[in-house]
């Protein structure tokens, strides 16, 4: 009986990996970032021309002790060149940390 319990514990640790971490795939992160863009449009914080943005890059970046995804959207229809690129920051758990035009 003890061997069965140990076997189940080992299999569970292999299947579930690092405990409480919930790592998302690149495509899942991009979908979360697109939803953030939609919410920014709905709240009128950005123009409607962002409704079908081009993702120019998706990468992981270190911010202090935390690793976050950065999804970079481009929109050449925006006249103000300082607002043609939006950076959306997402934690590895899939929670949006913020969005801005600077990437910082």
Measure CA of the first residue to CA of the last residue in the chain; give whole Å. 55
pLDDT value for 44 = 95
Instruction: Tell me if 89 is assigned to some domain.
Output: yes
Within a domain: 54: yes
Kindly state whether residue 6 falls inside one of the protein's structural domains.
no
Collapsing DSSP to helix, strand or coil, 102 comes out as: coil
- Could you give the CA distance from residue 100 to residue 92 in angstroms, rounded to a whole number? 18
For the beta sheet containing 54-63, the strands, ordered from the edge strand earlier in sequence to the opposite edge, are 54-63, 66-74, 85-91, 96-100
* Residue-number span of the structural domain to which 55 is assigned: 22-100
pLDDT at 22: 59
Q: Is residue 13 part of a domain?
A: no
pLDDT digit string (tens) for 64-98? 888 999 999 999 999 999 999 999 999 989 999 99
Which tens digit of pLDDT belongs to each residue from 3-52? Answer: 444 444 444 444 444 444 557 899 999 999 999 999 999 999 999 999 98
pTM above 0.95, yes or no: no
Does residue 2 fall inside a structural domain? no
Give how many domains the chain has, as a whole number. Answer: 1
- Does residue 81 lie in a domain region? yes
* Any domain includes 16: no
In a domain? residue 92: yes
């Amino acid at each position: 009986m003890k061997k069965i319990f140990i076997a189940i514990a080992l299999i569970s640790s292999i299947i579930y990996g690092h405990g409480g971490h919930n790592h998302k795939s690149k495509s899942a992160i991009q979908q979360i970032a697109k939803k953030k863009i939609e919410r920014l449009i709905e709240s009128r914080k950005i123009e409607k021309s962002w409704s079908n943005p081009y993702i120019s890059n998706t990468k992981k970046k270190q911010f202090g002790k935390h690793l976050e995804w950065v999804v970079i959207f481009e929109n050449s229809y925006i006249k103000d060149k300082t607002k043609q690129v939006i950076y959306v920051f997402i934690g590895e758990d899939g929670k949006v940390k913020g969005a801005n035009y600077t990437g910082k």
